[in-house]
Structure formats: C-alpha cells, structure tokens
Amino acid sequence: MEIKSVNSKKAFTLLELIVVIAIIGLLATLVLVMTGPAKSRSRDERRLTDIKNITTALELYKQNNNGLYPTTLAVVPGSPLSDSAVIYLASMPHDPNYSANNTGTDYVYKQLNNGVSYTLYFSLEKQASAYTSGLNVAAPGSLISACTDSCVANASPYSCTTASSTCSSLGYSCGAPVDPCNHTLSCGTCSGSTDTCSAYVCKCGSAPACSGMTDTCTTGSCYCGGGSTTCSATTSDACTAGVCKCGGASACSAWQTCTTGSCAQDSYTKLLLHFDNSTLDSSVNNKTVTDYSTVDNATTYKFGAHSRYFNGTYFKLSADSDFDFGTNDFTIDLWFYKTSTQTWQCLLSNYDNTNGSNYMNFYLTNGSGKVAWDDRVTGGPGENYLVGNSVLSTNAWYHLAVVRYNGTSTLYINGVPQNGTGTVHANNNLAYNHWIYSGYQYGDATTYLRGYMDELRISKGIARWTATFTTSTAAY
C-alpha cells in the first residue's frame, strides 16, 4: 500500500520567480516616477518661499538704510541678513539643491545703481504660474523671467553662449559671461569713462577706464569733460563732472599750484602786491614793504576794490637775493593807469647808488614817455635798452611786462611784444643785492610816478610769456 503525505507542496518554477521579480521592479519604477514631480514641486515651492522672504527682508533693510539696498548678502548657511542694529532675516536660505561643496545652483544677489535697485536670481525645476522652468529673477516689486536672449543653462550654473552676448536684455554688455547671466558684472555697458570691452573688461581704448584727472573716454583717450581738455596736475587735483577742480573748487590759475586742495602762488613768485587797501605781500615769501606816503584808492582799480596811487610818493623793499636774477629767466609785470603826461616816470628800479653803472629800470622814458626797460652791469656785455612802440594814454589801464627768456629781454604792452627802438646786448648778470624802489628812482626827484598801480608781481626763474598773450581777467 502506498502512503502519500498530505502536507507536500509544489515549489515555484524559475519562470514564476522571474515574473514576480519583474512585477516588483515595475511597481517600484512607477512609484519613483509618480513621486519625482512631487519632489520637484516641493523644492520649487520652497524656492519661491525663500525668495519672498529674502525680498521682504530687503525692503525692510531699505527702509532703515536711507532707501538703499545692501551691497551683498550673506552666503554662509544660517547667516542673518542684518545691519548693526536690526536683523531682517534670521537665516539666509540656500537653494534646496545647493550643497556645501559649492555645487549646484544657488540664489544670487546683485546690487544695482549703487543700492537703488537689485536683482536676485533663482532657478525653478518646473514651470509654475508666471515663472518659467530655469532661471528667473526677482527685482524690487516684481518676479520676472530672465535671460531670454543669449543666456542658456549649459554650465554651472549658467553662462552666456559668447562673450559678446551677455544678456543684453538685462543691460549687460561687457564682462566675463559667468554665473548666472553675468551677474558678477562690475562695469555694465561700456560708456562714459570707457569705450571698449576687452577681455571682458571695460577700457578706454587699450588703457584702464578714465578716472582721477579724467572722466570721459573719447576715441580711445581719456579727457576731462570730453573734447581735448586735460587737467594739469599743477593747477588741479581732480576732474569732477567734466570740470578740472582743486579741492572741489575751480582749478587754480596758471601761476598757481594746487596743494592739498587749495590754490597757492607758485614758487617762482617772489613778490605779489594786490594793493587791496594795503601794501602786504601775497606771495609765500611775505616780503616787507616800506611805504612812503603812497595812497590807497578805492575808486580807480583794475582788480579787487583797490589800487595804489602814486603822486610824488613811493615804496621800497630791502635788498634780497630773491630779486637778484643773475643770468636766469625772470618776469616783472604790473597794471598801470597814467594820470600825468610827465615823461620820465619810474615804475620799478633796482639802482646801485654806489655805482651808477649798475641798475635795472622799468619806466616811462624821459622825452617820449614810452614804456622802457634798461639794465646794465659794470664790466658786462653792454646795456639792454628796450623801448615800447607808443606813448601810453592817460586815464586808461595798461598791462606792462618785461620778460627775459634764454638771455633775451622783451617788453610787452597788453600782451603784445614791443619792437620799438633800443639796443639789446647779451645776457647781463643782474645780481646787485640793492634796494628795490617803486614810484621813484633812488636819488632822482624828477622820476616820481604819477598814476595808479595794481597787481605788481616779480617772478624769478621763469619767463611767464614768450609770445603774444591774453592778459589776465582776474587778480593773480
């Protein structure tokens, strides 16, 4: 008799096992496919919440900081957005996919227009409402889709396809095409102080952007205010809004130096008398003037509100090496208003009374009354005797100057060189070390000056003019 077990079971065949495993794999795949979009949407929702929180914090920051947005945002996870007094966002968020090893796309903030505005870039994995999948940008009061021209999501995180197409729709046209859509751009559209985008940097021609003493780039060169204007480092210290300045004020005159933001007489000026109700020396040398009854006048003057009236009166200065010109360049100039037809009148004289053959005289000649210059040295090459072209009219202001340049002396009247009669010899060594007189030649009572004088200046070591010039329209 055969006995059979009632508990015996038939085992799965290999084919049955394969079918079961396939079904389990299919079910797992379906679960992943169904949950993936949900995770993307969840991350996008977090991103939009983050951006809203950041933009709200930025507006609060602006209210407390003179209407300006911050220069940068904290990038360390958990760092707050704050200033010295207030915390506006307790913890600065990062993109959900951003990792500590600096991979993936993060939120990128860029201040614009020195804090007046900003852009805040972020990316979405899916299209959501008004936002596109890919790069979007938040700005004050709005969230808009960004980088629709030449920027594509083909790098980490984004880059523009070529160096010349750097998201121009966002106002960028120069800068390395990186991260995202050129957000690190510092110079923006090349203009004003630059005219060239070279190696992603705005330049003026091939040089750096114009700055300091220039502010405008014209055809590859830097100028102040365009055209061909350049600021002198002697008379100015900055170019501001197209104008050369010294310390924020107008640039100094050609005979001045801009020093620590102020205009001062240059070192060539050894004596400067404005005659503004005094005979004080306005040069840096502060020479002492001894006055012999010259009179302040407040009705007839060239500049300021005063001049000095001479009528049988004079002043003098002590002997000084600053008035010993040697064989170097020099300039003596002044404004004179003649009131008398007397012919022999002394404007300025350095006369060696111990030796009548040594002298320098700037005067109106005896006989004709024309402007003249005369210098002589005992044992020198000869007398330099220069005479102007015409007699000065009474009751009119004239600018008178004598200039020695490279050994040759020239007379100027109202900026015009004179070619009247006279004899010019080689360069005399004018180093007398004697008193300087104005209004009178020492020892000769027939030489008193009759008229008004303004802006007397003696310059040593420089020929202020070497050809026809336009006289100054203001005090020195």
DSSP-derived secondary structure for 40-109: HHHHHHHHHHHHHHHHHHHHHHHHHTTT---S----STT--EE-SS-EEESS----TT--TTS-S---EE
Over residues 1-11, mean pLDDT:
49
pLDDT value of residue 174: 47
What is the CATH topology of the domain spanning 269-460? Jelly Rolls (2.60.120)
- Asked if 11 and 17 count as a contact pair (C-beta separation under 8 A), the reply is no
Over residues 252-262, mean pLDDT:
87
pLDDT value of residue 186: 36
Q: What is the CA radius of gyration of the chain?
A: 43
Query: Binning pLDDT at 50, 70 and 90, where does residue 26 land?
Result: confident
- Mean pLDDT of all residues belonging to the chain: 80
pLDDT value of residue 184: 38
DSSP class of 358:
-
Locate tokens 């949407």: which residue? Answer: 41
Percent of the chain with pLDDT over 90: 33
Q: Is the pLDDT of residue 367 over 60?
A: yes
Over residues 421-447, mean pLDDT:
84
pLDDT value of residue 10: 59
Which of 4-18, 102-116, 143-157, 418-432 tops mean pLDDT?
A: 418-432
What pTM, to 2 d.p., does this model score? 0.57
H/E stretch holding 351 reads strand 345-351
Over residues 433-451, mean pLDDT:
90
User: How do the domains of the chain map onto residue ranges?
Assistant: 43-146, 269-460
Over residues 14-24, mean pLDDT:
75
- Asked if 132 and 148 count as a contact pair (C-beta separation under 8 A), the reply is no
More confident residue, 175 or 469: 469
Q: Is the pLDDT of residue 288 over 80?
A: yes
| Cα–Cα separations (whole angstroms), residue 42 to 23, 38, 144, 350 | 29, 6, 20, 98
